[in-house]
Amino acid sequence: MDRLNWKSDIGQEPSIPHIDWDALKQYAISIKCAQSRNTAHPPKCEIPPIYSMGGVHLVRLLVFEDDTKWVARIQLHQETQHSKSLLLSEKDTLSIVQEQTDIPVPRVIGYDECQERIGRAFMIMDFIPGSTAMNAFGGPQIHGGEIPLRHKAKFHSDIAHIQATMTSIRFPKIGMITLRANGSYDIDPIPGLGGPFETAQDYFMAWADNAKFPMGETTIRSQLPSHMADEIILSIQEFPSRLKDAARALPLSKGPFPLHHPDFYHSNVIIDDAYNILSIIDWEGALTVPWEAVEFPAFLYTVPPPIDLPSKYDCDGYPINPVIQNRWEERQDYIQSVKKAERQRGLGCELSTVLASPKIQNLATSIRLYSEDGKERMYFDSSDFALSAAHRVTDRVTDLGTIQTDEAHPNRNNISHPSSPSPAASNVDKKAKEDLHRKDASPQKSHLHRQTNKDTTNEGQDDFFYFED
């Protein structure tokens, strides 16, 4: 199996900044000496001529003479207050995940959020001897990024247990996790957004105030037929303000709010040769969020039907493309795995409830895609004109927000574990189960279709993003 997709042509990478590699080695050696309490005979440390690189980080291997291996993850860009906040919060998030759960994550060995030491901010962690699930078994060029069928069911089940456990870490506010000097965990503001937020309403209002679509009007027009451009651009421009107007009418849904991994994709899952999960990596940007912002893992992503091209669905709202049909079925199977994990771990049903709600998922994915910087997919493309119906995602969002436990946080300076769901959440789960049972009665087309508003005063508008008791 390929291991971490290492490359060996680092001298040919023009985007790599100048790094003081000797200073990095000396820092690693100092940590190693402190661990062994042997400063008289410092160990030798080498950096092999291999590396891995993504959009924002460079990864180098540190090898000691006793064969201990660490990795240094180095930021590619200049230090900013934003980047410092993200690094420190990621360190503290990894700490709480290790302390409070059995989710496998890398141990942070050392870090420097400033760039003076080696030229860029960095973090040193344990080396996990495996491959990402994306790069395993030949990589995307062989399997297109798909998880091998023989491993898919177990992998999805394992990820479901991890996501259920992850969302059991909850806080009374929305924001970035931080470790205080007294050893307790708390919530800090979200860089570029503000907070901490005490309600989902406050969070969505702030998001709407700060949302920026990643492409300009000229670029958008160049990718669209002229007869659709004006409508889509108007939808793009109005989306944040429409969401803000809807958020004003939201119930003041309070916490506790769950921990969310913003890049929960199989490129950030380290596995062994048998596809067993060894570690979940890249927690940069992890934060607590409203339940209405929690999504499926990214490898189960689909375009929300309200912002997809209607011609991709049949008269019952079922996707025509067999690949998307299969993805919808996989999502239903994943929900069942989440429910099993919730039962086994004695958790509430909040995660399975929000995943089973098309309305919640449409909202969560639409918001993420709107301001996403193109890491996985832009909000629309020339083949599906996904924004042609963007104005519809807020038509009925005013009823959103009933997924909450309404329970006081037992310790506002420390972690909260999930409690029994509220009556509202229980009713939601009952309704979700009823929806799922319709699949048995009508296996061809059932709960896997777009819900439409039956109120004739809003004929033609989709009825999204709310729970009915």
Token code pair at residue 172: 């009374």
Cα separation of 47 and 195, whole Å?
A: 40
Q: How many CA atoms lie within 13 A of 462 on its CB side?
A: 24
pLDDT for the residue 252: 65
203 Cβ neighbours under 8 A, 6+ residues apart: 174, 195, 197, 289, 290, 293
Give, for 417, the enclosing helix (H) or strand (E). Answer: none
pLDDT for the residue 306: 84
297 Cβ neighbours under 8 A, 6+ residues apart: 159, 163, 264, 265, 266, 334
194 Cβ neighbours under 8 A, 6+ residues apart: 206, 210
Q: If DSSP codes are grouped into helix, strand and coil, which group holds residue 289?
A: coil
pLDDT class for 224, splitting at 50, 70, 90?
Answer: confident
**Which of 42-51, 170-179, 198-207, 393-402 has the least mean pLDDT?**
393-402
Which residues are registered as beta bridge partners of 70?
Answer: 62, 126
CA 89 distance to own-chain centroid: 15
| pLDDT per position as a tens digit, 4-36 | 578 888 877 888 899 999 999 999 999 999 998
329 Cβ neighbours under 8 A, 6+ residues apart: 448
Contact 163, 296 (CB under 8 A): no
Q: Which residue has the higher pLDDT, 393 or 239?
A: 239
| In the chain, where the domains are located | 10-127, 136-458
pLDDT for the residue 4: 58
Cα separation of the two ends of the chain: 50
Cα separation of 356 and 335, whole Å?
A: 7
pLDDT class for 282, splitting at 50, 70, 90?
Answer: very high
Asked if pLDDT for residue 44 goes beyond 90, the answer is yes
CATH class, domain 10-127, is alpha beta
- Residues 368, 371, 376, 379: is their CA dihedral positive or negative? positive
Asked if pLDDT for residue 53 goes beyond 80, the answer is yes
| pLDDT per position as a tens digit, 405-458 | 333 333 333 333 333 333 333 343 444 434 433 433 333 332 222 333 333 333
Lookup result for tokens 């091998």: 148
Asked if pLDDT for residue 462 goes beyond 80, the answer is no
Contact 365, 393 (CB under 8 A): no
Calculated CA dihedral for residues 133, 137, 141, 147, nearest 10 degrees: -50
Asked if pLDDT for residue 396 goes beyond 90, the answer is no
Q: Which residue has the higher pLDDT, 217 or 410?
A: 217
